Structure 1
Amino acid sequence: MINRHRLGDFAKVIDCEHKTAPASDHAFAYSIGTRAVRNGRISLDRAKPVSEETFNAWTRRAVPKSGDLIFSREAPMGEVGEVPSGAKVCLGQRTVLMQLDTSRIDCRFLKYALMAPASQAWIKSTASGSTVLHLNVADVRRIPLPDVPPLLEQRQIVEALEDHFSRLDAASASLATAKRRVTAWSTALADTTVWQRGWPLRPIGTLLREPMRNGRSDRAAQGNESGLRTVTLTAVTRNRFEEEFTKQTVTPAQQARGLWLEPGDIFVQRANTPELVGTAARFEGQPEWAIFPDLLIRLRANEQVIDSRFLVAALRSERAHRSLRSKAKGLAGSMPKIDQAAVASTLVPVPSLEDQCSVIERITTIENGALATLATVETQERRTLNLRRALLAAAFSGRLTGKSSDLDRVRELAGV
């Protein structure tokens, strides 16, 4: 990368309001938070609806318009997207607005330059923060840019990139469709296996060997502070109790008593997005590996009546999950929540223990088949992502010609 230019040479960088915009039931406009900015695009579906009053207050510094860019400084940092044409939007927290000097730089050229591997590497190396890495506004202005050619050449580079990206977009869409179909197939088959006709239904509250319990949430340990490993909601969402889905918290050892995970424990999310609240997962690891947070409810099955593996399969079925989601309550703009009573009253089938074992074996076969297929799809997704990165690197190092042979050269560079 030729660092003759900095982003601030070509764009005015405007910081966001450092407070949360209140959500509205009636969307006059949208607050663009970091989760709405991904892969060069801004998704209004992932933005927060706000009122006209909030929009006016949050755009007192500048009104985002088509041709501007919104850039995320934290969680995650380095994402950038174009303001959608005709959309009324304001900045969410941890974002900045970039108003470009369009007589010198093309909006899409700058967007792709910021997405290029060299720019992303600089952003990561410059970030600061002891717990969550972030980029200061002053650092955003200092982001080095590659050599900036005349506008006509910038647009030629963009056209060549987007021509190749269109093929990768088609491949990504096909892979996403395949993942949805595999997930839908495995879910439907598992549901049918669990919810067979004729089996008696019982409330979950009558199937436990001890009362349910919520966890405890303390702040994250910082610096040299000692902490206790605590699982996150993501561990339950992904059904993976692994180190990457934990954090260290300053929970006192005495307060942690009774919160340690034990094999066979089932955890239900009592608060999350409308789609994820009520998600369940079963822990199969070592005793006292971690504690669990306040937003999870722990269930311990009475194994003489119901196998915990069958109970979690029932809870993860669409029928039971839909029942839990329907019981969630919450104010506009807040995460919907369920309580222990909602879980306790949820009905699940309770066949004989012999039949439960048969169901578990069948579901394991279904899940293993789905996981193998999804692993193949995800390998192809990573390959596509590597090709995108290699295309961006080639575009801003003078190696992109706009010819169909570019992809062969880029595959060699990407090693795919």
Structure 2
Amino acid sequence: MSNGIAPWLEKSQWPTVPIRLLARLGTGHTPSRSNPEYWHDCTIPWITLADVWQLRSGTTTVISDTKEKISRLGLANSAAVLHPAGTVILSRTASVGFSAIMGSDMATSQDFATWTCGTQLEPRYLLHALRGMAPDLKRVATGSTHKTIYMPDIEQLRVPLPPQREQQRIANFLDAQMDYLDRLATLDSEVLSRLDERKQALRDSAIDQLSKRHGNLPLRRLMRCIEQGTSPRCEATPRQGPEEWGVLKLSSVKNGSFNPNENKRLPTSVPPPRMWQVNEGDLLVTRANTPRLVGDVAVATGDCTRLLLPDLIYRIKLRTDIDPHFVAQVSLGSQIRQRIEATARGSSQSMVKLRGEDIRSWPVPNAPLRQQQEFTQSLLRWTEPAETLRAALNQRSQLLTERRQALITAAVTGQFDVSTASGRGVAP
């Protein structure tokens, strides 16, 4: 079954063996939150989904710090296990396929699978093999609410088994290659950050000039209504074509850009609430999201046929003399971003909400329609060279990702000799 999950394992020059035969397979648990005694004097590092952010880039090999800890009493009165340093972890729910090595004795939540390697398996080699499988694990994860790799499938995962010294050579080679690719990715990320700063400075300067010339009005004076959508039970996969109905995902609204392909398919058995169909020109604002992304805006463009507004996104209908693209760009300005940071509310740092009354108070320059349109067009002209560079960097990022995957899969399956290979001959 594992070779069905990761077909490239069929090319292995070494026999593939179930990982559970080479390492002790385990998982974790959450002590009862209803018993305060279990959450007093917490000293044991406890890896949860809140720590996955450390692993998303793939640059963290050893996880040494956790957001939460549990107590020894909570550990003793739950199915949680204290795993030894060197144990390899894999996230298997919600954020599927992220992996690392424990830097000290730690416990995990039930969202992780763990392998404590025996004498035949090098933890760093296993880590690279799991990272090679990550795209395959994400592809086969199931679940309508949260994607999950279930433990029976985890038990069937296999790994190529070269001699241990060869495992160490492979791990050393991949450590060096990944470090080089990580440094390239870091440099590209720094350039992208500078581009974002430049674009923000241009946007803020232009908004400031319009505000001084025409004054500001609260957004409520420029809009006809603000609505939030619906939350029907949807399928995890996107709709297959415009003839089907879909519900937009939060990711459809991102930094001024609208992506209609980011949607979840509405089952044919569910009648579509047509009053919530998105129309071209609707100004969309994320109502709830992470602190960094709440209040993100975009204008619905292109073919929005049979796309429904979710309850986590506001739809703002503006007056006919107000350009929605202008309001979207103003909403991305630093002044409104700071307001969002000050007014967004939430019970945790992972999800905050933005109230409609806060949005209604956003200051927008009271410029005539023609100047609104000129502002938007000028901003596009000013930032066009930077966006061209951004596209090239994003393309290189994709190539680096493909290169990373090709190196890992070729190395762990023995398709080239890492003791002599530079990695330059590995095709993506």
- Shorter chain as normaliser: what TM range? 0.7 to 0.9
**Aligned counterpart in structure 2 of residue 10 of structure 1, from 10, 15, 22:** 22
**Aligned counterpart in structure 2 of residue 179 of structure 1, from 176, 192, 198:** 192
Partner of 2:282: 265
Partner of 2:314: 297
Note the C-alpha offset of 1:356.
1.5
Q: Aligned in 2, Cα 1:125/1:186: closer, same or farther, shift over 3 Å?
A: closer
**Runs of 5+ unmatched residues, structure 1:** none
Partner of 1:256: 273
Note the C-alpha offset of 1:348.
1.9
1:81 aligns with 2:100: yes
State the one-letter code of the partner of 1:213. Answer: E
Note the C-alpha offset of 1:146.
0.7
Checking the alignment, whether the CA contact within 8 Å between 2:62 and 2:101 is kept in structure 1 is: no
Q: Aligned in 2, Cα 1:178/1:89: closer, same or farther, shift over 3 Å?
A: farther
**Runs of 5+ unmatched residues, structure 2:** 1-11
Note the C-alpha offset of 1:407.
2.6
Of 255-264 and 228-237, deviating more is: 255-264
Q: Aligned in 2, Cα 1:287/1:129: closer, same or farther, shift over 3 Å?
A: closer
Instruction: Return the alpha-carbon distance in structure 1 between the equivalents of residues 254 and 100 of structure 2.
Output: 27
1:149 aligns with 2:168: no
Instruction: Return the alpha-carbon distance in structure 1 between the equivalents of residues 275 and 349 of structure 2.
Output: 33
**Aligned counterpart in structure 2 of residue 195 of structure 1, from 208, 218, 235:** 208
Partner of 1:359: 375
Checking the alignment, whether the CA contact within 8 Å between 2:229 and 2:309 is kept in structure 1 is: yes
Checking the alignment, whether the CA contact within 8 Å between 1:122 and 1:143 is kept in structure 2 is: no
* 1:228-247 pair list within 5 angstroms: 228-237=245-254, 239-247=256-264
Alignment deviations for residues 49-80 of structure 1 (CA, whole Å, 9 cap, x no partner): 35648963797431244211111224443332
Q: Aligned in 2, Cα 1:47/1:21: closer, same or farther, shift over 3 Å?
A: farther
Instruction: Return the alpha-carbon distance in structure 1 between the equivalents of residues 350 and 176 of structure 2.
Output: 41
Partner of 1:113: 129
Alignment deviations for residues 195-250 of structure 1 (CA, whole Å, 9 cap, x no partner): 21333111111111x22111111111489x99731111101125444353001235
Note the C-alpha offset of 1:115.
2.3
Q: 2:68 is paired with a residue of what secondary structure?
A: strand
Partner of 2:405: 389
Q: Aligned in 2, Cα 1:80/1:108: closer, same or farther, shift over 3 Å?
A: same
Instruction: Return the alpha-carbon distance in structure 2 between the equivalents of residues 339 and 120 of structure 1.
Output: 37
Partner of 1:161: 174
Alignment deviations for residues 127-168 of structure 1 (CA, whole Å, 9 cap, x no partner): 555776532213212211112312x33222211222222222
Checking the alignment, whether the CA contact within 8 Å between 1:40 and 1:79 is kept in structure 2 is: no
Instruction: Return the alpha-carbon distance in structure 2 between the equivalents of residues 349 and 45 of structure 1.
Output: 48
Checking the alignment, whether the CA contact within 8 Å between 1:324 and 1:346 is kept in structure 2 is: no
- How many residue pairs match? The answer is 400
1:211 aligns with 2:228: no
Q: 1:341 is paired with a residue of what secondary structure?
A: helix
Checking the alignment, whether the CA contact within 8 Å between 2:234 and 2:247 is kept in structure 1 is: no
Q: 1:370 is paired with a residue of what secondary structure?
A: helix
Checking the alignment, whether the CA contact within 8 Å between 1:40 and 1:80 is kept in structure 2 is: no
Instruction: Return the alpha-carbon distance in structure 2 between the equivalents of residues 54 and 367 of structure 1.
Output: 57
What's the TM-score, normalizing by structure 1? 0.84
**Aligned counterpart in structure 2 of residue 313 of structure 1, from 329, 340, 359:** 329
Instruction: Return the alpha-carbon distance in structure 2 between the equivalents of residues 376 and 300 of structure 1.
Output: 35
State the one-letter code of the partner of 2:366. Answer: V
State the one-letter code of the partner of 1:148. Answer: P
Note the C-alpha offset of 1:81.
1.2
Q: 1:177 is paired with a residue of what secondary structure?
A: helix
1:338 aligns with 2:350: no
Alignment deviations for residues 311-331 of structure 1 (CA, whole Å, 9 cap, x no partner): 111112222122122111122
Partner of 1:137: 151
Partner of 1:280: 297
Note the C-alpha offset of 1:284.
1.5
1:170 aligns with 2:186: no
What RMSD in Å do the two structures reach over aligned CA positions?
A: 3.4
